[in-house]
Amino acid sequence: MKKSIYSWALYDWANSAFATTVMAGFFPIFFAQYWSNPEDLSISTFYLGLGNSVASIIVVLLAPILGAIADRGTYKKRFLVFFAFLGILMTAGLALISQGMWQIALLTYVIATVGFSGANIFYDSLLPAVSNKDNVDYVSGLGYALGYIGGGILIVINFLMITYPSFFGFADSVEGIKWSFISVALWWAIFSIPILLFVKEPKYHKAETSLQTIKSGFKQLKNTFNEIRHLKVVFTFLIAYWLYIDGVDTTVRMAADFGITLGFDSTTIMGALVLVQFIAFFATLFYVKFADKIGIKNAIYFAISAYMVIILSGYFVTEAWHFYVIAGMIGCFQGGIQTLSRSLYARIIPENKSAQFFGFFNMWGKFAAVIGPLLMGSVTLILSNIIDDQVLSARIGLQSIMILFILGALVLSKVNVSEGEKIAKEYL
């Protein structure tokens, strides 16, 4: 059992390199300063937000359908491999794109993000297969914790690659960044191997042909819509999660772009990202213990409140040390709110329908990510045209996502976890 747990959690170590080095770190910086127009950062912010939103829409459309098919045909690991390979291939492809080709860079990034997010659907859906009610919080937290430390280690190496390019045999920092994209692809591929070898996928349905599986998957998708609509606890939690996780994802995806707009150099931004990773490793494991003491819902409430303070504080950032303080605060709560949300959801869904229900879980999360980056990017762009102040526009644009945390907390108050666990058992 321990081998399967660690093999499952190690995939978070593998793919978090994309989330840190590419999504949160180098792509926003490289997109603004190399591929796009560094003279008009509000335009760059808008297109970066648009790209993230488009990727999320694609996952929204695919997630529930593929989740249903995966459950019927025992295809979780096969779909995980397909999407992970897509993400790995596109990530490596970023290294081949020349300066000024922002359209191709954005398209490649969108496809890579689809691969990353799509694979996560089936990674998350395997959580019930390697855990039980007693250890699901720990196992979920272990995955996020390993993800933070793994992503943190690689981003430190990547940071050194662009800071001291000659030491690594690179002509300049641009070549260092391009090789960083390749290193992420290799890291992701190598550390994905254990989950494929040592995690056994449960089989809940009789064998079917491929065509039967697809037909059954679509039929099951329709049934799942009806089930979730009538499973009040699951439905209510999905709405709450949809709202508050949007703010979390937007913070991660747009933080580097926000720092660029404020005038911070890449060294400051990369340093802040590294700080987030290593604080989050320890904080995530601590937060699981903290949740045991105060309850899983209260712990999520606490994290939402902390994020509201973080967003508000972002308006007043003027110095590099302010940026580091904000990064440290994010590190304290990011892993906690993610892992507890995932483990709470795993508690209230039927285990034998985990892929399709986690398809909806990821769908809602990614649908929220459609709104957040686009909202922040649009507000920033509109205000910059009105007040002709890119920095002030960015500060106000950041505040626009505050409402999502508030609404998320209000809806979460309606979720009865005990009732959800009881109903989930009746489906087995």
User: Residue 109 has what pLDDT?
Assistant: 92
Mean pLDDT of 237-262: 81
- Read off the pLDDT of each residue in 205-234 and give the average, rounded to a whole number: 65
The Cα–Cα gap between 12 and 167 comes to 30
Domains and their CATH numbers in the chain: 2-197+210-425 (1.20.1250.20)
CB 411 within 8 A of CB 239: yes
Averaged pLDDT for residues 132-143: 80
pLDDT band per the 50, 70, 90 thresholds, residue 377: confident
Return the pLDDT at 228. Answer: 74
pLDDT at 305: 94
Q: Is 197 exposed, middle or buried (0-12, 13-18, 19+ CB in 10 A)?
A: exposed
* Residues 112/58, Cβ–Cβ less than 8 Å: no
CB-count burial class (<10 Å; 0-12, 13-18, 19+) for 87: buried
382: pLDDT strictly greater than 70: yes
Q: Which two tokens stand for residue 374?
A: 């686009």
Q: What is the mean pLDDT of residues 164-193?
A: 93
Question: Per-residue pLDDT averaged across 226-250, rounded?
Answer: 83
Say whether pLDDT at 47 is over 60: yes
Q: What is the mean pLDDT of the chain?
A: 82
Find out whether 296 and 411 touch, Cβ atoms under 8 Å: no
Q: Which residue has the higher pLDDT, 202 or 138?
A: 138
Tell me the C-alpha distance between 132 and 231, whole Å. Answer: 21
- pLDDT at residue 369 in the model: 63
pLDDT digits (tens, 9 = 90+) for 315-371: 888 888 888 898 899 889 988 898 889 888 888 887 767 666 766 676 666 566 667
pLDDT of residue 356: 67
Question: Tell me: the pLDDT tens digits for 60-113?
Answer: 777 767 766 666 556 788 889 999 999 999 999 999 998 888 889 989 999 999
> pLDDT band at 203, cuts 50/70/90?
low
User: What mean pLDDT comes out for the span 304-314?
Assistant: 92
Buried/exposed 200-210: b ≥16 CB within 10 Å, e otherwise? ebeeeeeeeee
Mean pLDDT of the region 231-247: 87
Across the range 164-181, mean pLDDT stands at: 92
304 pLDDT exceeds 90?
yes
**Chain position carrying tokens 């989930």:** 424
Mean pLDDT computed over 387-391: 76
Query: What phi and psi values does residue 13 have, to the nearest 5 degrees?
Result: -60, -40
In contact, 49 and 377? CB cutoff 8 Å: yes
Q: What are the distances in angstroms from CA 218 to CA 68, 256, 340? A: 7, 40, 30
Mean pLDDT in residue range 190-218: 72
Indicate whether 123 pLDDT > 80: yes
Q: Residue 276 above 90 pLDDT?
A: no
Average the pLDDT over 380-391 and give the result. 78
The pLDDT score that the predictor gives to residue 94 is 94
Least confident piece of the model among 4-8, 28-32, 183-187: 28-32
Cβ–Cβ under 8 Å, residues 187 and 154 = yes
